Amino acid sequence: MKDRYLYILLIIAMFLWGSSWPTSKILTTYTSPAVITFWRFLFVFLGSFSMLYFLKIPLKIPLQIFKWVFCAGILNGLYTFVFFIALRYGEAGKGGVLVTTMIPIFSYIFFMLSIVLRKNEKLIQRVGKSEILGLILGLASGFCLLNLGSLDEIFGKFNILFLLCALIWASITLFTHKAKGAHPLTINLYINLISTLMFSWVLFLDEPFKVLTSDVKFWVNMFVVVVLSTIIGTSIYYYAIHRLGGVKANSFVLITPASALICSFFILDEVPTVLTLIGCILAIFAIYFINIHSKKKS
């Protein structure tokens, strides 16, 4: 595949990721977050397994990394559960910008804390001005998106739950980073399997099976979330990292906050406020300086 075609696919993948926010919000209107979480993980696992079988990607993973995969699977399940709860209390587009912004911010804070605690002077010296600038811009975008007008808004369900989503996902990256020695899609398969088993208790209720008789709208949105966004979008991203390298592939992640707003506008008629748009722009620059510019420089 020529690089220019891969660039087009990456742009499509980022919009597929952005579309998962409004479509997931629609899914929350049908049943409880726990039930939606279970079916999402089960369908993703089955779809991912079929894809790995078709591509003939090995299913074996080293035993020594299973503990990291297990921890990532538990956190992945918790993230998705909180994610579906959060979508009931806030706008999908605004939440998509907030979470995709704060994940690299929290990840970078974890990185900074780790090198300070280890007193690693070499790593401290590698921290550049671009990362610090990105961190400042990211925090500024967070203030815009949190809509900090009063104490009620600061500690509102929307802010607390979406910030918790970002914090959990940033924690997941710590464990997936350690889970090396197998194909990324294989590791992702087992993470989703663990998350599925984590919520399998809902099968003992009557509610989960009722949702399977839902209308076409439910299944269209489930298809977007599971197949288009999670399976296809993530596979394109992993393939792009393999072909283009992490710096070029991650630069396309800058599209995700904007795509979440655009998709939410067209699907849910959510009109972003001026503060949300400013926060989105600051978020794009923050991700660029933390994840892209610093790596290009090094």
Read off the pLDDT band of 50 (50, 70, 90): very high
With a CB cutoff of 8 Å and minimum separation 6, the contacts of 57 are 183, 185, 186
On the question of pLDDT at 35 being above 90, the answer is yes
Burial code (b: 16+ CB inside 10 Å, e: under 16) for 111-135 equals: bbeebeeeeeeeeeeeeeebbebbb
pLDDT at residue 168, as a whole number? 92
For residue 41, what pLDDT is reported?
A: 95
Assess whether pLDDT exceeds 70 at residue 200: yes
pLDDT of residue 250: 65
Do the Cβ atoms of 72 and 175 come closer than 8 Å? Answer: yes
pLDDT number for residue 25: 94
Q: For residues 9-24, give the mean pLDDT.
A: 91
Residue 195 pLDDT = 96
Residue-wise pLDDT for 56-87, tens only, equals: 999 999 989 899 999 999 999 999 999 999 99
For the entire predicted model, the pTM comes to 0.84
For residue 294, pLDDT beyond 60? no
Average pLDDT, the chain: 83
Q: Which positions ≥6 away from 153 have C-beta within 8 Å?
A: 146, 147, 159
Which comes out higher in pLDDT, residue 179 or 227?
Answer: 227
pLDDT of 160 reads: 85
Identify the pLDDT of residue 224.
95
Per-residue burial over 229-263, b = 16 or more CB atoms within 10 Å of its CB, e = otherwise: bbbbbbbbbbbbeeebeeebbbbbbbbbbbbbbbb
The per-residue pLDDT for range 240-275, each reduced to its tens digit, is 877 776 666 766 777 888 888 889 999 999 888 888
Q: Is the pLDDT of residue 292 over 70?
A: no
Q: Which of 280, 267, 260 is nearest to 102 (CA)?
A: 280
In this prediction, residues 134-145 reach a mean pLDDT of 75
